[in-house]
Amino acid sequence: MSCGEKLAEELRRKGFRVTPQRGVILETIAHMGDHLSVQEVYSEARERLPGLNIATIYRTLESLHRAGMVDLFYPGSGPTRFTLRDPSAAHGHLVCTECEHVVDIDTDLIGRLVEEVAAETSFFIDPHHLTLLGICDACFQAGRGKRKIS
Amino acid sequence: MSCGEKLAEELRRKGFRVTPQRGVILETIAHMGDHLSVQEVYSEARERLPGLNIATIYRTLESLHRAGMVDLFYPGSGPTRFTLRDPSAAHGHLVCTECEHVVDIDTDLIGRLVEEVAAETSFFIDPHHLTLLGICDACFQAGRGKRKIS
DNA sequence: GTCAATGCAAAACATTTGCACACGC
DNA sequence: GCGTGTGCAAATGTTTTGCATTGAC
């Protein structure tokens, strides 16, 4: 059974209907990997299913989100992006404001950050939505951006 | 000298022109406090200067940002918000995804988070853009949202 | 058969831009 | 007077919505 089929089954198990559109969307997401935008999935999935409408991507994504199968995150600029959720692990993103590159954050580090903030503020960071903006090492080495509080 | 006038002078000192529009915008920001959206400033400032155009707010905001006088942040949903920068202190926001409420993060805590991430990933979080999404204590007590990794 | 999902088109919303004119410095 | 800043209107890009139809269960 392919990754896409497993996801389809999970979606059905959670009470959502599995249509050909959703099948193709899941298949596409499974093949494309993380940090996807709606447009990216749309372009790719429409090749497999030409009549597919972009509103369907948005609505499917909302269903997947309600089903707890994808996490959304908001890079500082540009459209919302999303990632298939691994239920067993926290997941976060470092977004470089210079090169737009997205890097995943280590699960353990997320756990520590969540605890640290919770201990001090009684605010519980969503470990599936953790997105941090800043400067990546490559951009810093290249002299773009700065690493001091100005 | 009012807060707005001080800000106008700072802006002029940094090489930007101070127009009546910018004066009113600065005055308005100084009175309205933190976590403002463009629309909020626009509504308020237009009462003091009726012809004011919303594009001017956007452009002024960009100038203020280039001048290092305001910081932008991106709550999980809704428009970009901004805050006057206090040059002496880091500044971050906790945004509750249930009630949309925004709380400031303590300067020391930000410093520790920045260091912790930097040590482990060689990625430098921008301490002026730090925004964390999650569940606030009030919403958790009220039974909205959850505090476990699902 | 019922109700959720889809396609289509239009609307909503935030933000940006081109251009002619105004005005701070 | 030079060049930045402004108003206006239009364009852009993302996301949402109403509505009739389709199709999964």
Residues of A in contact with B125 (CB under 8 A): 94, 132-134
Among A29, A53, A85, the domain-final residue is A85
The residue type of A110 is I
State residue B85's pLDDT score.
92
User: Which tens digit of pLDDT belongs to each residue from A21-55?
Assistant: 999 999 999 999 889 999 999 999 999 999 999 99
State residue A4's pLDDT score.
76
Question: Do A110 and A125 fall into the same domain?
Answer: yes
DSSP, collapsed to helix, strand or coil, labels residue A78 as coil
State residue A33's pLDDT score.
87
State residue B148's pLDDT score.
57
Q: Give which of B86, B81, B128 is closest to B100, Cα–Cα.
A: B81
Q: At A43, which CATH number?
A: 1.10.10.10
Contact of B109 with A117, CB cutoff 8 Å: yes
**Residue span of the structural domain in which B77 resides:** 1-85
Work out the minimum CA distance from A74 to partner chain B, whole angstroms.
6
Question: Do B81 and B95 fall into the same domain?
Answer: no
Among A32, A64, A85, the domain-final residue is A85
Say yes or no: B97 contacts chain A, CB-CB below 8 A: yes
State residue A61's pLDDT score.
98
Binned at pLDDT 50, 70 and 90, residue A98 comes out as confident
Question: Do B104 and B80 fall into the same domain?
Answer: no
Residues of A in contact with B147 (CB under 8 A): 124
State residue B5's pLDDT score.
86
Six-digit token string for B36: 């403002």
Say yes or no: A100 contacts chain B, CB-CB below 8 A: no
Sign of CA dihedral B25, B30, B31, B34: positive
Question: Do A69 and A93 fall into the same domain?
Answer: no
Nucleotides of C under 7 A from a protein CB: 4-10, 13-18, 23-25
Mean pLDDT of chain A: 91
Q: Which nucleotide shows the minimum CA-to-C1' distance to residue A53?
A: C7
Q: In chain B, which residue's Cα lies nearest the Cα of A87?
A: B150
Question: Do B80 and B99 fall into the same domain?
Answer: no
State residue A10's pLDDT score.
97
pTM of the model: 0.90
Contact A94 B123 (CB under 8 A): yes
Question: Do B61 and B101 fall into the same domain?
Answer: no
- Encode burial over B37-73: b for 16+ CB neighbours within 10 A, e otherwise: ebebbbebbbeeeeebeeebbeebbebbeebebbbbb
Q: Give which of B124, B117, B65, B127 is closest to A141, Cα–Cα.
A: B124
Domain count for chain B, please give it: 2
- The Cα–Cα gap between A127 and B98 comes to 15
Question: Whats the size of chain A, residue-wise?
Answer: 150
Phi-psi label, residue B147: left if phi above 0, alpha if psi -120 to 50, beta otherwise:
alpha
State residue B143's pLDDT score.
75
Binned at pLDDT 50, 70 and 90, residue A150 comes out as very low
Q: Give the residue-averaged pLDDT of A133-137.
A: 91
In the numeric block, the tokens 């919302």 are attached to A80
Q: At A90, which CATH number?
A: 3.30.1490.190
Among A54, A85, A116, the domain-final residue is A85
Q: How far is the CA of A19 from the C1' of C8 (A)?
A: 18
Residues of B in contact with A137 (CB under 8 A): 122-123
Six-digit token string for B101: 């409420």
Question: Do A104 and A114 fall into the same domain?
Answer: yes
Work out the minimum CA distance from A117 to partner chain B, whole angstroms.
8
Is residue A146 scored above 80 in pLDDT?
no
Query: For every one of its 150 residues, what pLDDT tens digit does chain B have, with 9 covering 90 and above?
Result: 778 789 999 999 999 999 999 999 999 999 998 899 999 999 999 999 999 999 999 999 999 999 999 999 998 889 999 999 987 888 899 999 888 889 999 899 999 999 999 999 989 998 888 999 999 998 888 877 766 544
